[in-house]
Amino acid sequence: MTADASPVPALDRIRVGSAPDSWGVWFPDDDQQVPWRRFLDEVAEAGYEWIELGPYGYLPTDPARLAEETGRRGLTVSAGTVFTSLHRGPEVWDATWEHVSQVAELTRAMNAKHLVVIPSFWRDDKTAELIEPPTLTAEQWRHLSTGMERLGREVRERFGLDIVVHPHADTHIDTEENVARFLDATDSGLVNLCLDTGHYAYCGGDSVKLIETYGERIGYLHLKQVDPEILADVVENGVPFGPAVQRGVMCEPPGGVPELGPVLTAAQNLAVDLFAIVEQDMYPCPPDQPFPIAERTRRFLRSCGA
């Protein structure tokens, strides 16, 4: 360090982890994905201590076995992930709860405290076929907000977990406008946000602005960057999310946007403990590709103070 260089402030409220997504894992079982044991070995070797469960069924679902496998590698689970389509109204509640309760049970058994909730896609991420309109009606917005509040209440009462809703490309909670509308329509005591910096940038949002504006609603972070040149082509040509990922739209930090240092500093300034889970969408990818990226990303985040 040179004489005039100042040390990077320690981001002591930020707990960095990674997820199966950074190893190209999108599905419980897929021939193009690395085996779960390899993921656990490599994520620990890359220097991470926290992980998410990923798609339910990828990692062992028996709590005792999963605790043994993670524990002997020095890993701890931060959250589970569920998928919902609550904008479709009360008729989807039973099927939603069946899925949620299964994941929440394992998440609780692993002593994690968060459930990441991802809204359903409005188009197929492989074929680009429209599944439903990309814009919600006023009634669907009411279903979405009241359904998420009910989900937050039920998950907390039955499992002791907090839900954090994940804005995501090609879903109805995506742009700055739609994220703000969702937050303004929901109770902060029941529903908060998993801010994914990559997805938010993909949809035109400013993560630092969101943290500074809705700081009390930020309950969890996913750290991700997008390649602005690839993104520009994706937007211009209406490329769906899956093929966009295959083009490399989600890139290795610090080569994309948003700049993660200011995002982490803004999150630190909230003065609450937050998980910041690295996710670099790479499905599908060669099996030897994720590990060196994960190591480099962990070193980069340490250079930011995390």
The helix (run of H) or strand (run of E) holding residue 66 is helix 63-71
- Domains of the chain in start order, with CATH, are 12-302 (3.20.20.150)
pTM of the model: 0.96
Task: Print pLDDT tens along the chain (306 aa).
Answer: 444 556 677 899 999 999 999 999 999 999 999 999 999 999 999 999 999 999 999 999 999 999 999 999 999 999 999 999 999 999 999 999 999 999 999 999 999 999 999 999 999 867 778 999 999 999 999 999 999 999 999 999 999 999 999 999 999 999 999 999 999 999 999 999 999 999 999 999 999 999 999 999 999 999 999 999 999 999 999 999 999 999 999 999 999 999 999 999 999 999 999 999 999 999 999 999 999 999 999 999 999 999
Determine the 3-state secondary structure of 71 from DSSP. Answer: helix
The helix (run of H) or strand (run of E) holding residue 50 is strand 50-52
Tokens representing 80 are 């589970």
State the residue for tokens 């993909």.
202
Give the integer Cα–Cα distance in Å for 170 and 122: 6
φ and ψ at residue 54, rounded to 5 degrees: 70, -165
Neighbours of 44 (CB within 10 A): 17
| Cα 270 from chain centroid (whole Å) | 19
